[in-house]
Chain A
Amino acid sequence: MTFALWLGLLSLPAAAVATLAVPRAARALAGAGLLAAAGGVAAVARETANGRVLGSRGFEVDLWRAGLALAVIVVCAAPVVRGGADDAESPYRWTVFLGTAAAGVASLLAADTFSFAAFLVASTLGFGVLCFVRGSRVGLRACVRFAASDLVAVTGLVLVAAEGMRVPPPARGAGAAALLTAAVVRGGVFPGTRWFADVLGEDTAISAVALGVMRAQALALVAWVSSSGSEWGTVMAVAAALSAAVAARHAMRESSVAAAGTAQFAMVVAAFGLAGASAVQGAVLLAAGMFLAAVIVVGGRAQGWVSPTVGAAPLGATLPGAALVATAAFSRALGDRPMFVVALPLAAALVWLAQAGVSGMRARGEAAGGTSASTAWFVAPAAVIASIAVAPGAALAAIATAALASGASRLVVAPLPAIPNELGIVFVVAAAGVAAAGLPRGRSNDCAASVLRAPGFPLRDPSAVRAVVVIGCLVVGWLAVLFVQGVRRGFL
């Protein structure tokens, strides 16, 4: 059953071997491995949606960990599959890169803390080698920070080892503080955020490891601390919320994708600090948006392949996720006033991220030499909500539940509610935005445009087509919301 997953993992070194001689074959293998890994995760999802954990030979996987592993695989496969300027570099460097990615995946699936620590250090070593071969001083400086985070993480794991070495460890006290510190350093939030953003200015391999491997490992650590009911939860939420606001403001002001990613990560940390079903669901969506953005940043750099709809996808997951987290924070603050220290920055981060989406699209339009961006961009950032949040709403709940097996599940104390209305509302607006943004504009290469240009399609005037599709999306989306509300209220 997990054969496909392991096949996917094994394909990474296979792709590396192929890279030695034939880059195209390497890309084909990496693409096949990606598909296999996705199939494996789907199989794991089916088997573990009820909280079951699959284990084999020192590794374990549940839905949460499978999701993180898939994120690493997708982010790291992006530069390989897409190719680009880095093809001219040493194939051995690509081998190191893929080995680092494999170590990152292995760390997420480790069944005990000793193995986790070993793969954690291996990931950092791989990152260091990549930077050394490249001659990247910025990368090496970041590697020193990652190594420091390894040291702190290992210290934390030793401190909590008395409670057992199973994953997730029961992290409390000083051990939890150490793990949390390691997580925020690894995630690029501390000390400062500039150094992590600078790393993303390096080549695709270094960026992919930083955005994929390091961020996923950081999320795993954060989930451990949060699910242990640690006394550091509130501190974590406050610090992360303030960091998120600062990073989101920076993302808005500078149209910085790196800062937006930092804001997303900080909001995920804040959500885990808040705990609760809604916050965890929001965290899952935010994490999905963060890794989608990483794929686009890493893969899109190679050949500029990002179409408008694809470009809007990360914020499509981010905005509803951030709305859920901020709403959960406000709900808690209304009963516990000091928590406004968390709620207000998170609300500001949410708004600034939405505005950053607008300004980012605008900057992209200018860079492409366009005269203007589409007015639909104000809603297009919510694009993939249909596929991520609404359509598989049960899957979203299952992923949040999978924190159970991974440790974060204790946060979900009650049966998960049906799809929150906020998601349905955003879906309605987003569907119209996607349709309006993706429809023909002369040179658009979106798939929607291709369909509508097909010979058999009855409408030829782009404005009429756009109007029809927007209205259709609104109607369908509205029916979806009514259906969800009907189910929730027992009418259906």
Chain B
Amino acid sequence: MLLAGRLDGSALVVLVLLLAARAAPVAVSTEPPAVWALAMQMRLVPAWIGVLAVGLVRAGSVQMADVRGANAVAGLAVARGSVVAVAAAWFALVAATIVIAAPGWRADAGAARRLEIVAIAGQILLIVTLFAGPQVRAWTDAIPWVAASAVGAAAGWKGASVVGAEWAPRAATVLAALAFGLVLVGGRL
């Protein structure tokens, strides 16, 4: 409801709920890999905060509805705006892709697995909402949503084999910091 703009609410609340949902399947497990996965999620938090901050600075508001409004008024972050702002959006998008694709623990089946899938889907939708989701007025507006969500889903599904656990948190944090610096310099609408 928050992502769809049906409720007013802080984007930080969305992030907290999604990251907690992502951590929940790990909490279900007592296997040693789950401990490692929890630590990995902790290391990815700074990158998440940086990516979110880029979207918020561009929109000039913490409210999720305003972030969506920024895309509706000024166009997609990855295509519209100053060169610096567009570069910041792309850096943030790459950082978010790495974060979503970072290796983690995968629940086998049951409620934990379903919860993990919902959490990953929510994270992808958050990123799309921040940078690539236009206001839907015609069927063509759905194309960026579908395309960006598909890329995110592919990254979440198969990315773990490409993204290394050793460098993913650091790389994502550096990219998010770079994007944040750029958007601070000249990215606000």
Contacts and interface: CB of A to CB of B under 8 A. Distances in A.
A375 B10 contact: no
Contacts of A375: 24-25, 27-28, 111-112, 115
Interface string B1-29: 01000011110110111011101111111
Given A359-B38, A362-B26, 19 more contacts: A253-B42, A319-B16, A323-B10, A330-B56, A334-B56, A337-B184, A348-B49, A358-B27, A359-B27, A365-B30, A373-B28, A375-B24, A378-B20, A378-B24, A378-B27, A422-B10, A425-B2, A425-B9, A485-B8
Interface stretch (A30-38, A113-121, A156-164, A349-357): A349-357
B38 A334 contact: no
A373 B45 CA distance: 23
Contacts of B53: 330, 340, 343-344, 347
Interface of B: 2, 7-10, 12-13, 15-17, 19-21, 23-30, 38-39, 41-42, 45-46, 48-50, 52-53, 56-57, 60-62, 111-112, 115, 184
A252 interface: yes
B19 A355 contact: yes
Given A359-B38, A377-B27, A425-B2, A327 B62 contact: yes
Contacts of B46: 348
26 contacts: A253-B42, A323-B10, A327-B10, A327-B13, A331-B62, A334-B57, A334-B60, A340-B184, A350-B16, A351-B15, A351-B49, A354-B16, A354-B19, A354-B20, A355-B20, A358-B24, A359-B23, A359-B27, A365-B30, A375-B27, A378-B21, A378-B24, A421-B9, A422-B10, A425-B2, A425-B13
Contacts of B112: 375
Nearest to A335: B60
Contacts of A421: 7-9
Contacts of B45: 348, 351-352, 355
Contacts of B25: 375
Contacts of A298: none
Contact of B27 (A373, A425, A481): A373
Contacts of A366: 30
A238 interface: no
Nearest to A323: B13
A326 interface: yes
A249 B43 CA distance: 9
Nearest to A482: B7
A355 B62 CA distance: 22
Contacts of A352: 42, 45
A387 to B, nearest CB: 20
Contact of B20 (A344, A379, A485): A379
A204 B89 CA distance: 52
Interface residues of A, number: 44
A425 B49 CA distance: 21
Nearest to A372: B28
A283 interface: no
A331 B63 CA distance: 9
A426 interface: yes
A323 B16 contact: yes
A330 B38 contact: no
Given A351-B49, A358-B27, A327 B16 contact: no
A85 B142 CA distance: 65
A252 B39 CA distance: 8
A429 interface: yes
A56 interface: no
Contacts of B56: 330, 334
A41 interface: no
Interface of A: 249, 252-253, 319, 323, 326-327, 330-331, 334, 337, 340, 343-344, 347-348, 350-352, 354-355, 357-359, 361-362, 365-366, 371-375, 377-379, 381, 421-422, 425-426, 429, 481, 485
A323 B12 contact: yes
A118 B158 CA distance: 65
A348 B21 CA distance: 16
B156 to A, nearest CB: 18
Nearest to B42: A252
A115 B2 CA distance: 50
A355 B27 CA distance: 10
Q: A-B pairs with the 4 shortest C-beta distances? A: A378-B24, A327-B10, A362-B27, A358-B23
Given A330-B62, A344-B49, A481-B7, A361 B12 contact: no
B38 A355 contact: yes
Contacts of A355: 19-20, 23, 38, 41-42, 45
Question: Which of A252, A340, A378 has the most C-beta atoms of chain B within 10 angstroms of its own C-beta?
Answer: A378
A399 B49 CA distance: 31
A330 B20 contact: no
A371 B62 CA distance: 40
Nearest to B59: A334
A326 B10 CA distance: 10
Nearest to A249: B42
A421 B1 CA distance: 12
A327 to B, nearest CB: 4
Contacts of B41: 355
Contacts of A377: 24, 27
A33 B38 CA distance: 43
A248 to B, nearest CB: 9
Question: Which of A362, A426, A429, A481 has the most C-beta atoms of chain B within 10 angstroms of its own C-beta?
Answer: A362
Contacts of B20: 354-355, 357-358, 378-379, 381
Nearest to A488: B8
A425 B62 CA distance: 16
Contacts of A249: 42
